[in-house]
Structure 1
Amino acid sequence: MANSAGSRKRARQAEKRRQHNASLRSMVRTYIKKVIKAIDAGDQSVAAEAFKTAQPVLDSSVNKGIFPKNKIARVKSRLNAKVKAMA
């Protein structure tokens, strides 16, 4: 347990940051699932649109330090390949 005032404040800040990061991480995963759902449905135009809206969200999560750069690059590459394969 945090004893000094400074360590109590740091604990509060860490918890607030953890919850915010969890929210952003969840949002990114939801956008990925929307693209996968559109791909599974077989509608290429919807899948391409979902991927187009997901890309900036994925990129901003990297800039905020939520996910590693290479993980998001890998996810985007795989989703793009699946969308293009539908054509």
Structure 2
Amino acid sequence: MTLSAEAIAATHPAHDYFVDVYERAEALLERAFTEIEQRDLLASGITPSQAAQITLSATLGLQQLWLWDGRRDPVVDLEAVLGSLVISSF
């Protein structure tokens, strides 16, 4: 977490690495949410791009909270986030 925070500065040696990682993660998630949208399972009013950004942001934030307090369960919390973005098919 410290390295990724320090690498926010464009002059940091790891900056380009983290830009690439987050761009690829977001693109992968956007493709997944596009498929979900094509099946009419994406929540109303949410675009695949928004869902990807929300999911990536939640994942990173929950990871940081878990590092501060290992009693947290980021999987359960992420499932809640995804449950608000994807309509259940059951």
Output the TM-score relative to the length of structure 2.
Answer: 0.40
Give the structure with higher Rg (CA): 1
User: As a proportion of its length, which structure holds more helix?
Assistant: 1
Greater relative contact order (CA < 8 Å, ≥ 6 in sequence) = 1
TM-score for the superposition, normalised by structure 1? 0.41
